[in-house]
Amino acid sequence: MRTATMTPDVEAILARHTVRRAAIVGPAVIAVLWVTRGAAGGVAAAIGVGLIVMNFLLSGMALSAAARISLSLYHAAALFGFLLRLLLITVVMMVVARLFDIDRIAFGAAAVATYLVLLVLEAVAVARGREGELEWTS
């Protein structure tokens, strides 16, 4: 448990910021795919965006928990957690595509585009010091 003198869970804060940005990016991605691929594309895009948002939240929680335990575990969680989350995204996408009649192109395009756009937006915000809750970015 963190006390007032300890640093905040930076990873969890970054994940929450990314989810806030997804509230803007997600509907834009869904709208583009709805227009270009139809209603089925919009639904598939919404599922893809949701999958990526859950990935970022899972990442923030896992890294925050690992950081509280030890630096070595944090490093392991960062490296292997990334690989496991990519594998999880791939498996979930394959299962969804097999179980449901879904627009696979829209599903995949939404997932990839959302992941990359949110990652770039967060990196730019941190690099420019716009993350006010993070004392080391000021």
DSSP class per residue in 55-107:
HHHHHHHHHHHHHHH-HHHHHHHHHHHHHHHHHHHHHHHHHHHHHS---HHHH
Alpha-carbon distance of 100 to 118, in angstroms, equals: 27
Residue 1 lies in a domain: no
Residue 129 has pLDDT above 50, yes or no: yes
Whether 3 is in a domain gets the answer no
Residue 108 lies in a domain: yes
CA atoms within 13 A on the CB side of 29: 30
Residues 70 and 18: beta-carbon distance below 8 Å: no
For the stretch 81-103, pLDDT in tens is: 889 999 999 999 999 999 999 99
Is 51 part of any domain? yes
The answer as to whether 5 is a domain residue is no
Average pLDDT of span 128-138: 62
Q: Is residue 135 part of a domain?
A: no
Enclosing domain of residue 55: 10-129
The pTM (predicted TM-score) of the whole model is 0.82
23-51 per-position pLDDT tens digit: 999 999 999 999 999 999 999 999 999 99
Residue 48 domain flag: yes
Domains contained in the chain, number: 1
- Which residues, including other chains, have CB under 8 Å from residue 52's CB and lie 6 or more apart? 22, 89, 111, 114, 115, 118
